[in-house]
Amino acid sequence: MNEEEINRLAGLAKNGTREEQDEAWRELVPEIKVLAYYAADKLGTLPRAIGGLIDEAPSIVFERLDRYDEGRPFRRWAFAVLRNWMIDENRKRRRKRKYEIPNDLVEDFPEISRGFEPRPYENLPDLDRPFSDADLTQLEKDHTAQARVIGLTIVNLWKNVPSERWQAWLAETDLPHDFPPQEMEQYDEYGERIERLAEMLHVSEQSLRML
């Protein structure tokens, strides 16, 4: 399905009649599942975990469809939604797995009980480590300073940037030197961070989701 047709269906799924919405959504679901597969694969998700994420992906996109800007390519928007959702899911699972080890895993792999911690996204780069110089250079190549700073705050990864580099980026923006404020650390959910940043920056949530 080409980009134009995908965008047309997304517009109907959002603003069409009930029948048009239902029909458009049925056609979009397979496309969304493909996007979910690519997003999960890009994040290094283990094959055993991909199936569950793909099954849940259409409902995640549907829940956020009212925020979709029809002037933007749907595939790009949906991919960003799914990627950010998967990052948040990974963080939640990591926190949970830190204290809970599923019984079936302990039975199948007794060595886990001797200090090994199961990770749902085993091949995912450690999101809690500082970014490498290559990571930072790629971010600078792909995004403006404003988009880098706000985008990393939205996905809760700003602390992965060395403070000197972060301050240099901030100097290229119109944001305060102490951005993001310390209060952002209390928001665990992607949606909460979006909402608070939109309020703080006096912009729409939709504009932030398009970064």
Delineate the domains of the chain, giving CATH numbers in brackets: 3-92 (1.10.1740), 129-211 (no CATH)
Residue 48: pLDDT above 50? yes
Is a pLDDT exceeding 80 seen at residue 141? yes
Any idea which residue has 């080409």 for tokens? 2
Question: What gap in Å lies between CA 25 and CA 82, rounded to an integer?
Answer: 17
Distance of alpha carbon 119 from alpha carbon 100, whole angstroms? 11
Instruction: Report the pLDDT value the prediction gives residue 170, as an integer from 0 to 100.
Output: 93
Tokens encoding 170:
């901030």
Task: Work out the pLDDT band at 125, boundaries 50, 70, 90.
Answer: very low
Angstrom distances, CA of residue 179 to CA of 6, 63, 146, 147, 157? 37, 30, 11, 13, 13
Share of residues in the chain with pLDDT > 90 (%): 25
Q: Read off the tokens for 84.
A: 């950010």
**What are the structure tokens assigned to 54, written together?**
């793909």
d(CA 86, CA 31): 17
Listed range (28-37, 38-47, 176-185) with the worst mean pLDDT: 38-47
**Residue 211 contacts by C-beta under 8 Å, 6 or more apart in sequence?**
147, 150, 151, 154
For the stretch 96-112, pLDDT in tens is 554 444 444 434 434 33
Determine the average pLDDT of the residues in 11-15: 93
pLDDT at residue number 101: 45
32 touches 21 (CB < 8 A): no
- Section 150-167 average pLDDT: 87
